[in-house]
């Protein structure tokens, strides 16, 4: 084979190799383009979904931020519509007003007591007892400090008076001697409560006994638990065991 033929064959092989590389490169570019198209299409779909979702939410927030806006009826007339945020603000304002009306009185000079009855020393809704009512503010000398209602401070003036907020069960107050309600207050409570605290119950031995049964002093729930029947006004009946 001559040198000229060898040169032609070499060029032919080079051209075929180059064309093969070009074809492979073209295929790779097409494959990459297809992949990019798929990715772009998926990104576009995600973008459209997010845009549709948040555009509605943004529109809703913008309407609510106006407080109220005009909306058109099907017959062509307009009416004023309040946004959800406006309704929420109005509802919260009404709730706050009701809470202020129902809020119990507070005094800065008051000694807060434990959440229990100042007479029977039981908590709310125990046994036959209902809710606790109060607070009823009373002045008590330091020497009669009710330790079962509030912790006694280490340095206490026995002659000084302290204001306590007392809570009572309805039946405990109604069955206590000389305690009557007037304008949602118990005027005689401050005068009588210390004497009640000096009396110990014959059943539980705790302070605050107010009901006398055959020479024995008891709390209202303790008397009831022993079978005594109490009516208002005070009509006392002994248990059958004691009658016999």
Checking if the pLDDT of 239 tops 50, the result is no
- What confidence score (pLDDT) does residue 213 get? 84
User: Mean of the pLDDT values across residues 152-167?
Assistant: 87
Most confident of 51-55, 60-64, 181-185: 181-185
Over residues 132-147, mean pLDDT: 91
Q: Give the dihedral sign, CA 174/179/182/184.
A: negative
Fold of 110-243: Herpes Virus-1 (3.30.40)
pLDDT winner (highest mean) among 48-57, 106-115, 127-136, 216-225: 216-225
User: Terminal CA-to-CA distance of the chain, rounded, Å?
Assistant: 147
Is the separation of the CB atoms in 139 and 161 below 8 Å? yes
**According to the model, what pLDDT value does residue 149 have?**
92
Distance CA 8, CA 13 (A): 9
Neighbouring C-alpha atoms within 13 Å toward the C-beta of 50: 6
Q: pLDDT confidence of 184, banded at 50, 70, 90?
A: confident
Sign of CA dihedral 19, 20, 23, 28: negative
Q: What is the DSSP letter of 152?
A: P
Amino acid 219: pLDDT: 93
Q: Is the pLDDT of residue 203 over 80?
A: yes
Model pTM score = 0.52
Residues sharing a CB contact under 8 Å with residue 25, sequence separation 6 or more, in sequence order: none
User: 61 versus 221: which is more confidently predicted?
Assistant: 221
Burial profile 177-207: b = 16 or more Cβ within 10 angstroms, e = fewer: eebeeeeeebeebbebbeebbebebbbbebb
Cα distance between residue 244 and residue 232, in whole Å? 25
Whether 108 shows a pLDDT value over 90: the answer reads no
Which pLDDT band holds residue 104 (cuts at 50, 70, 90)? Answer: low
């Amino acid at each position: 084979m001559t040198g000229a033929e060898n040169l032609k064959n070499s060029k032919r092989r080079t051209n075929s190799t180059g064309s093969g590389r070009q074809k492979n490169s073209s295929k790779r570019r097409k494959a990459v383009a297809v992949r990019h198209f798929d990715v772009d299409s998926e990104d576009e779909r995600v973008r459209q979904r997010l845009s549709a979702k948040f555009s509605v939410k943004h529109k809703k927030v913008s309407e609510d931020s106006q407080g109220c806006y005009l909306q058109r009826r099907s017959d062509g007339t307009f009416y004023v519509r309040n946004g959800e945020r406006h309704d929420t603000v109005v509802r919260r304002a009404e709730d706050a007003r009701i809470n202020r009306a129902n809020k119990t009185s507070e005094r800065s000079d008051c000694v807060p007591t434990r959440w229990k009855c100042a007479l029977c020393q039981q908590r709310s809704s125990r046994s036959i007892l209902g809710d606790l009512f109060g607070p009823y503010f009373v002045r008590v000398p330091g020497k009669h400090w009710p330790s079962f209602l509030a912790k006694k401070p280490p340095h206490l003036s026995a002659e000084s008076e302290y204001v306590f907020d007392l809570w009572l069960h309805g039946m405990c107050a109604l069955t206590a001697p000389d305690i009557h309600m007037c304008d949602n207050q118990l005027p005689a409570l401050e005068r009588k409560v210390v004497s009640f605290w000096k009396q110990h119950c014959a059943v539980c031995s705790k302070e605050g006994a107010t009901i006398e049964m055959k020479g024995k002093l008891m709390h209202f729930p303790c008397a009831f638990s022993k079978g005594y029947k109490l009516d208002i006004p005070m009509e006392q009946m002994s248990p059958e065991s004691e009658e016999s």
